[in-house]
Structure 1
Amino acid sequence: MGRLGIHSFVWTGGATQEDLETALEKTAECGYRLIEFAYLRPEKFDLDRLAKKAQGLDVAIAVTMGLPLHADVSSEDPSAVKAGEEMLANAVKAVRDIGGTKLGGILYSAHTKYASVPTDRGRKNSIAAIAKTAEHAESAGIDIVLEVVNRFETNLLNTTAQALSFAEATGSDRVLLHLDTFHMNIEEANPAAAIRLAGDRIGYFHIGESNRGYLGDGVIDFDRIFDALLDVGYQRDITFESFSSAVVDEGLTLACAIWRDTWTENMPLARHAKRFIELKQEEARRRRETNARP
């Protein structure tokens, strides 16, 4: 089974090295085996020190990011595409240097609400940029996992079916899907069916509630989610993601519209999420065993 992780924004906005190291310590204290960081700029943080800290705590690292408009690889502007390709190449190096296993998030477009539909040329530019990024990832030994997000955060990959087509068009086995229950709840007609459709192309999975807060306090049917993950034999990492205005950086506040406190204390939230996910995994296994009996 893959590792159970937690997003660093549960712990901190991540403004300083000390913030990130404290997040690592709290992650380990709660029993999580992976932490997800937003893209860490090498000129701002000591990645080697952070990697050693993570290794000492036996906590793996995943990195996710979204591109800014000036580096949008789905743009028709060659300068924006080039800037995006450079940003992605640098991100791959940073993930490698920090000892990370994957680079995920909105890597194929800007992380924003678009004012127009994607163009065919823009989609082809994005596919080519991700294919190029996958080559860098191959040599760095990491996976590229494309997060499928809702219509308010990209105009390109909103559904699993779109992402599967896009990933296949890159021609790279290093390009996998990064599914998220929060986004699937908005865009997929049947999230469980979408998981089964993606199958072994799922490279990373986010567990988040419909209101971004405590798991079980929203409308997502997690029983069907975990049944589907079991059906496809998903063995890779699962990360809990929750955002509150109590702890969030300014960029994410704007991009994800985090306008209120969905919670105020992070430690009870984190402990509850770990118990909730492990319980749902166990319940899914028991349902499978019960249904298999003659």
Structure 2
Amino acid sequence: MNKLGVHALVWVGGWSHAEAIRAIEQTAALGYDLIEIPALDPTTIDTAFTRKLVEANKLGITVSLGLDGGADISSEDPEKVKKGEALLNDALKVTRDVGGTHMCGILYSGFQKYAVPATPRGLENSVDVLRRICERAAESGITIGLEVVNRYESNVLNTAAQAVDFCQRIGAPNVKVHLDTYHMNIEENDIEEAIITAGKYLGYFHIGESNRGYLGAGNIDFDKIFRGLARLDYQGPITFESFSSTVVNPQLSGILAIWRNLWEDSRDLAGHARDFIRANLKAAREAQKRHG
């Protein structure tokens, strides 16, 4: 059975104690299994407070982040690679200390638009760093998820096939593909087959709409998405991700170009997403049982 999660930015823009309480308690109240917290700056997260809070609310927790241009491990600049590895190690410590099961996101390059393709040397740097990160993560039972994003957010992994190849190059048992319906809708030729392509490497899944708003209110073919998950018999986490100018994070909102107010009621949005995901998963699995 998949654990269902929600991204913290549905609730709050930062991670002060008050924000952490609101996000975690609201997530638990709606019956979600886990919350995903962003850690672009790991120093902003009070790990002891967060862990105590998620445990009190019987929630699981995952951590996500993207590297910035000055900490890009896919660079040929050794200083940038060094800074990137240090940031990943800091985020990994946060993931461990909050009791997280997964550290996901754009962990392999800068979270930015590139003007040139990735270089072979840069890709090798990324593989080398992530191999070490995976080894450290394994000591704490943490899965590393490489999020496949669109071409405007990275020049390294834009398709499921690329991510599978990258995982194979890293060669660690705890490195997985992290797919996201928003990005798949932009880059994949066939979103259902992309899920099948990820296969055994698929370890984390983001559900989001084409406009980042309410599920079903955009143009993503969710029938194909859920059919692909059912065909694969995917059992990992599924996390709802949505953004609106109603909730602002000083770093993420600008990078993601969240200029429009797509929703105002976080609770209604998250409750709708929970029901939407559960219903579509159920329908797809029942269809798979009957038709194979």
- TM-score interval (norm. to shorter): over 0.9
Structure 2 equivalent of residue 85 of structure 1: 85
Mapping for residues 278-289 of structure 1, pairs under 5 Å: 278-289=278-289
Structure 2 CA distance for aligned equivalents of residues 43 and 149 of structure 1: 25
1:154 matches 2:166: no
SS class of match (2:206): strand
Q: CA deviation at 1:43?
A: 4.1
Query: In 2, are the aligned partners of 1:40 and 1:94 still within 8 Å (CA)?
Result: no
Whole-angstrom CA distance in 2 between matches of 1:43 and 1:255 = 20
1:217 aligns with 2:217: yes
- Partners in 1 of 2:102 and 2:57 — Cα distance? 19
**Counterpart for residue 205 of structure 1:** 205
- Which structure 2 residue ranges, 5 or more long, are not aligned? none
SS of corresponding position for 1:250: coil
Q: Percent identity?
A: 48
Q: Is the CA contact (8 Å cut-off) linking 1:7 and 1:35 kept in structure 2?
A: yes
Q: CA-to-partner distance for each residue in 1:211-234, whole Å, 9 max, x for gaps?
A: 100000011111111111111111
* Secondary structure of the structure 1 residue equivalent to 2:44: coil
User: Secondary structure of the equivalent of 2:149?
Assistant: coil
**2:40 touches 2:65 (CA, 8 Å); kept in 1?**
no
Residue 242 of structure 2 corresponds to which residue in structure 1?
242
Distance 1:197 1:290 in 2: 23
Q: Which residue does the alignment assign to 2:22?
A: 22
AA aligned to 1:243 is F
Name the counterpart of 1:194: 194
8 Å CA contact 2:15–2:44 kept in 1: the answer is no
1:268 aligns with 2:268: yes
Q: C-alpha distance in 1, partners of 2:167/2:119? A: 17
Paired residue secondary structure (2:96)? helix
Distance 1:261 1:191 in 2: 27
Say whether residues 1:4 and 2:10 are aligned partners.
Answer: no
Deviations 1:172-207 (A, max 9, x none): 111100000000000000011010011111110000
What's the CA shift for 1:41? 5.0
Moved more, 86-95 or 177-186: 86-95
CA distance in 2 between partners of 1:16 and 1:59 (Å) = 18
Output aligned runs, 1:66-145, within 5 Å.
66-145=66-145
Q: Which amino acid in the other structure matches residue 257 of structure 2?
A: A
RMSD: 1.2
Whether the aligned pair in 2 keeps the contact of 1:93 and 1:140 (CA below 8 Å) is no
Report deviation, 1:93.
Answer: 1.0
Aligned AA (2:140): A
Q: Distance in 1 between matches of 2:40 and 2:16?
A: 10
Counterpart AA for 1:188? E
* Alignment check: 8 A CA contact 2:42 2:91 kept: no
Q: Which has the larger displacement, 255-264 or 97-106?
A: 255-264
Q: Secondary structure at the match of 1:2?
A: coil
- CA–CA distance in structure 1, aligned partners of residues 75 and 286 of structure 2: 48
Decide whether the 8 Å contact of 2:15 with 2:45 is kept in 1: no
Q: Structure 2 length normalisation: TM-score?
A: 0.97
**Partner Cα separation in structure 2 for residue 47 and residue 41 of structure 1:** 13
Q: Is the deviation greater in 67-76 or in 283-292?
A: 283-292
Give TM-score scaled by structure 1 length. Answer: 0.97
Unaligned residue ranges in structure 1 (runs of 5+) = none
Q: Is the Cα–Cα contact under 8 Å of residues 41 and 94 in structure 1 kept in the other structure?
A: no
Q: State the 1:40 CA deviation.
A: 7.0
CA contact (8 A) 1:92 1:140 kept: no
Report the AA paired with residue 270 of structure 1.
Answer: A
User: 1:211/1:42 Cα in 2 relative to 1: closer, same or farther (>3 Å)?
Assistant: closer
Aligned residues: 292
Tell me: CA distance 1:248–1:172, structure 2 relative to 1, closer, same or farther (3 Å): same
